[in-house]
Amino acid sequence: MHLPSWLHFSLGLSCFQGGCNPSSASNDQPTQTDRPEPVQPYMAPRTTGFGGQQTAVPKLGGPASPFFLEKNGYTYSDLHGGIIGVYTERYGQNNEDAVLELYIDTETQVTTVFSNKLHLESHGIRNLQTYQIIQALHYEQGMDIKKMKWSAMSIDHSPTMETIREYRESNRLSPGDDIKLVPTSEGWAEFVRTLYYEMTYKMVPGAEIDRIIVKSQTSLDTDVSDGEAPASEMIMFSFTVPLNDNEAAIDQKAAELAAEDNLNAGLQAAKNAMDAYVKNIQETASA
């Protein structure tokens, strides 16, 4: 039976919440005393072949405009329990395969992207970027995109995987150790240049990314054989609105811990939704 390609990811998602890897680093990695110079995010060329992240071309309207997705050749549906599938005739067969699968937890304001196949979409002038689709979904469903606190994505990009591997090696971290970075951290610049930062940094208007976390997924044996390897890493970005001088956080460490607790709750909600979806598929297939 063909199950969703991200089922591997679903089965291992609990490991992203710290329960499967006792060796995971619990603190931020080495930091610099001075804030580094601003770094330009990675900007993928039109011929990149990944993520649909092309240079800007005119679109029909903006993410907040009515029917923005439809006008640019996309539709979406609730697959089950809040999991959203985005479709386009430019990907898959008979418009049956989702080009993007995600879950938006409105309680924790964590958006989890299970599968992103925009890089396999045939090129056209109406191709949208990941952040544009997610913004449009928020607007069309009456959700406030500016309230989003975290974006979590499974990683399927060799250069980003290489950046993660090199960072762990240079900081004497084990392959399964967490990576936790803030703008003053050594290595922040390298992660700002990754494709996933480029996908994310425009996602929440007026906000900045103030924290990056990378977690490794423990390999699990499954009976699913869809020809795809499971995502082995997940990258998460925290959004914050710049504070003025009178709004500085009283306890920065407490705020960071609260933010991670919120992230974990959002990931758990995404996992619960995935579990329910997979169960529904299995029950339907066996009926």
How do residues 97-108 score in pLDDT, each as one tens digit?
A: 999 999 999 999
> How far is Cα 176 from Cα 178, in angstroms, rounded to an integer?
7
> Quick one: what percent of the chain has pLDDT higher than 70?
71
Is the residue at 263 inside a domain? yes
Residue with structure tokens 């989702």? 98
- Is the pLDDT at 211 greater than 60, yes or no? yes
Q: pLDDT higher for 284 or 195? A: 195
Is the residue at 159 inside a domain? yes
Q: pLDDT-based confidence at 254, cuts 50/70/90?
A: confident
Is the residue at 272 inside a domain? yes
Is the residue at 83 inside a domain? yes
Residue with structure tokens 């049956």? 96
Number of domains the chain contains: 1
The pLDDT assigned to 48 comes to 43
Is the residue at 1 inside a domain? no
Angle at 276 between CA 282 and CA 77, to 5 degrees: 90
The pLDDT assigned to 224 comes to 38
How do residues 57-94 score in pLDDT, each as one tens digit?
A: 557 789 999 999 999 999 999 998 899 999 999 998 76
195 Cβ neighbours under 8 A, 6+ residues apart = 42, 44, 50, 51, 53, 157, 159, 160
Q: pLDDT-based confidence at 26, cuts 50/70/90?
A: very low
Q: Name the least confident of 11-20, 132-141, 242-251.
A: 11-20
- Is the pLDDT at 141 greater than 70, yes or no? yes
The pLDDT assigned to 248 comes to 57
User: Residue 209's domain spans which residues?
Assistant: 7-286
The pLDDT assigned to 128 comes to 96
Is the residue at 2 inside a domain? no
